[in-house]
Amino acid sequence: MASFRNLSAAGFAATAITYGPARMGFGLFLPEFRDDFALSTGMAGLISSLGFLGMLLGLVAAYATLALAGPRPPVLLGLGLATFGTALVSGATGLPMLALGIVLAMASAGFAWTPFNNIVSRRLPDETRPSALAIISTGTSLGIAAAGATAIAVSLSGLPWRMAWAAFAGASALALLANITALREPSGPLGASTPVAPWASLLHGSAMPLYAIALSFGTTTAIYFSFAADRIVQAGGVPGMPSGSSPAILFLCFGVFGLLGLATGRIKGIIGLSVLLRGLLVASALSLGLVAAMPASWSGVVLSAGLQGVFVMIMSAVLAFWSERLFPHMPARSFTAALIAVALGSVLGPVVAGTVSDIWGGEVMFLGTAVLSITTMPVIQPRLVQERPGPAV
């Protein structure tokens, strides 16, 4: 039980930082960056895509490091990048320094999550793994909520946005120290005890729905994280609140509602994986449609953020345990493959969406992204969505 608590808490802290303010902070503070660095929507999309490209490269580097030295080094490297990247952003004196800080901070997400699938698989019994993986993935929710709360405090107190990023850097350093202690026990390189099948074995037909959903998930969520807050500010913000606080409200609601991800295992056990996936894609489409149609109303913003939070947190947990169930002998490698699909969508989504927004406007961009979530649903067929490898499809 102590091992379960320690590993879950360490992973929760790592994802809270790297998938919270480090990965989402750019979208949260995009209105401020626009003012201080004269950013167009297209340039913002390019920086966001570069950040997600950093995450993609981080995923590949993390797996290589994990295979050679075990899961501890990539986790600590990721948290180190988060600390350095957020510190760079807090002191950015120009666009190049800002972009570098954003890319390094977002790259941290590629290092600090997937190794925990390996750690959990090797140190915890089968019956506790889904709960541990759900707790670790839901760290994102608390991280985003805390980032939103920090942004609200900074906005209402009149402090500069740089103070928020300095706070993010401090929190990243604390998470790094905590993981240094929690992961002190060496667990060895990935292949130390069990031979690992080649990467090509992950292209099993039963895993194709996993990768298709992961690609769609990465594309739509990256667009939402990059531009939803800016869309609300450009529309005038939520009534009765300073315009600058609207992004913080969005991300705070996102994080709070996302805590439902802690119940992922229970929900899946009741309704089944196929029904859960369909419901999540509908939630994504509704969230994107609301930010397109109702960006300046309390009900539209809160409901959009809440639905997106539920979608992201539960889908993140699903990807973690689904990949582990499909390939139980390759937990870190299979989850890395799923997250590479997420990252590919995240790289392509913002740069294309930014261009679309510059030409046709934010409403068209978000409605088109909502359509993508709906068009992903045909891959969710009970005969295709499996939790164990089956005959190739």
Confidence grade of residue 392 (pLDDT, cut at 50, 70, 90): very low
What is the average per-residue pLDDT within 73-96? 96
Q: Is the pLDDT of residue 291 over 60?
A: yes
pLDDT at residue 384, as a whole number: 61
**Which range has the top average pLDDT, 237-241, 260-264, 269-273, 356-360?**
356-360
Domain ranges of the chain: 2-183+203-379
Q: What b/e string do you get for 128-148 counting C-beta neighbours within 10 Å, with b at 16 or more?
A: bbbbbbbbbbbbbbbbbbbbb
Q: Is the pLDDT of residue 112 over 70?
A: yes
Tens-place pLDDT, residues 349-379: 999 999 999 899 999 999 999 999 999 988 8
pLDDT at residue 386, as a whole number: 62
CA–CA gap between residue 65 and residue 169 (Å, rounded): 24
Tens-place pLDDT, residues 210-223: 899 999 999 999 99
**Helix pair 2-18, 72-90: axis angle to 10 deg:** 30
Tens-place pLDDT, residues 185-212: 654 454 444 445 677 778 777 778 889 9
pLDDT at residue 258, as a whole number: 86
pLDDT at residue 388, as a whole number: 61
Q: What is the CA radius of gyration of the chain?
A: 19
The domain made up of 2-183+203-379 has a fold known as: Growth Hormone; Chain: A; (1.20.1250)
Confidence grade of residue 243 (pLDDT, cut at 50, 70, 90): low
Q: Which range, of 41-45, 130-134, 235-239, averages the lowest pLDDT?
A: 130-134
Q: Considering only residues 76 and 139, tell me which one the structure prediction assigns the higher pLDDT.
A: 76
